[in-house]
């Protein structure tokens, strides 16, 4: 996509679970990685990624904590 979209930043989001995956996307032309869900439970998660403290986003099933109709995965 980056070859076709030259005048605006390419932002990708969804499904990134590891630093390696995020770096791969950046190396292939993404300008920004979106990390919306981790902010819900861990607002300083990007800081942990950048400092090297965290290397991956863990996923766990948690349907009892979510309102009806919300997917039953929570990122922490």
Show the 3-state SS of the chain. Answer: CCCCCCCCCCEEECCCCEHHHHHHHHHCCCCEEECCCHHHHCCCHHHHHHHCCCCECCEEECHHHCCCCCCCEEEC
* pTM, 2 dp: 0.64
Tokens of 75: 């990122």
Task: Give yes or no for a contact between 16 and 25, defined as CB atoms under 8 angstroms apart.
Answer: yes
> What confidence score (pLDDT) does residue 44 get?
82
Confidence of residue 41 (pLDDT cuts 50, 70, 90): low
Phi, psi torsion values for 21, nearest 5 degrees = -65, -40
């Amino acid at each position: 996509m980056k070859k076709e979209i030259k005048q605006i930043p390419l932002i990708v989001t969804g499904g990134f679970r590891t630093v390696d995956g995020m770096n791969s996307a950046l190396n292939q032309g993404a300008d920004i990685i979106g990390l919306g869900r981790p902010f819900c439970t861990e607002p300083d998660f990007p800081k942990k990624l950048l400092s090297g403290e965290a290397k991956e986003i863990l996923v766990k099933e948690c349907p009892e904590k979510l309102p009806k109709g919300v997917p039953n995965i929570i990122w922490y």
